[in-house]
Chain A
């Protein structure tokens, strides 16, 4: 190996065939690309919105006579979901505004800013919305105490606590992993 020309000659040895037509797979991807539901943010927004509507619906049509504490519980859960939906919508808008037509240095800086933002929302907002939701469900439990036997109340309470502990464990683990990945990506984008 004497110079870069030798390297170039190695690269040029690989012969690739020119395509004769646009493949079906690409045509399918082009059609799918514009569908909103293909986006993970939109999927999250849809799931969260359905949950929110279900809570509102159950509150409106099923629990017709409730206490103030119950109403506060429902409102807290709705608030938690509404905050999360707003964050996801904003995040979706930010991701959509990443413009591949920009010069790469600008694009890299926008990507880094986007990942920094993702890092931020994985910290306190996630814990805040999760805590609000748990508090909301907890308040509902106080109301359920009136209607359930001691056995069933204790049963649901233990189940609730176990689910929360497991969820906290998984969410923490996932957030840690995600933040590490985002840090690695931000590091890789250094020019």
Chain B
């Protein structure tokens, strides 16, 4: 069935739709959009985001416990007052429109979104969700981005010799390190870093490194602030690197192994090209290609996978906001954060799709002309 359709031939135009001239003219702009690859995938991305948003809207309300209940329980545990008291106090300090049905809330939310308004927090009435995100997002982007980039680059450069000197001692040591380090979850690495160097060996003051920068500095382009920000990010970044470096090393190694056996590499070697040239221009470039896809995909993941690391190092970013809003069932904040993460995931995937053809000239993404 598959080969009947000649699916591998990508250079064929889709058959022109059999429409009358009038209708064709009518639908022309739409068809143009549909035929335009980039526009189509963008449309698809928007639809994906909308579906996930709607699903999130429903899911957060299906979660057990609503914002009032959650805070009531918290107060009951922490302060030991009676249920009635706690309930009264919390219910009064919220401003939830009790008459609004979920559908009303949904339409309201969508309407606000079109005006780029994410609404206000439920548990902290009056606080704009967008302000919360703006407060926390930059730090996650900074720490996770740095960690991801460093580990990616290190992984690429460490993975290649592993494949090149397959079976050597270097390969064995690096293989062991990479498969072991990824086998330990990042929060355990984080705790071990605090317990070992932090508590036992006292290399640094754990408390002084908490937060995102030192009190009293003005955020901006000045040496003091940047140094302080780097200093505070060092531990989480280091943790991210340890926890994900091995993945890149092993992926790069297996990818390189495949490329090394390709004919063009042998040809290049036979042509007497310098080994360096072969490694960098041929092997490295080609082997790293599939990893770029992986890198873009992992961006969205890593943004939210740092939740526990952010808590452990008290380096609050978007992961903390996500965790916090789930814990107190702050629906609006939660929707805002999930929307952001969804958009990042979807658009990074989109980016991967769009750029893959550019990076690897052999690949023509189907439908692209």
Asked if A and B bind, the verdict is no
A-to-B contact residues, CB < 8 Å: none
B-to-A contact residues, CB < 8 Å: none
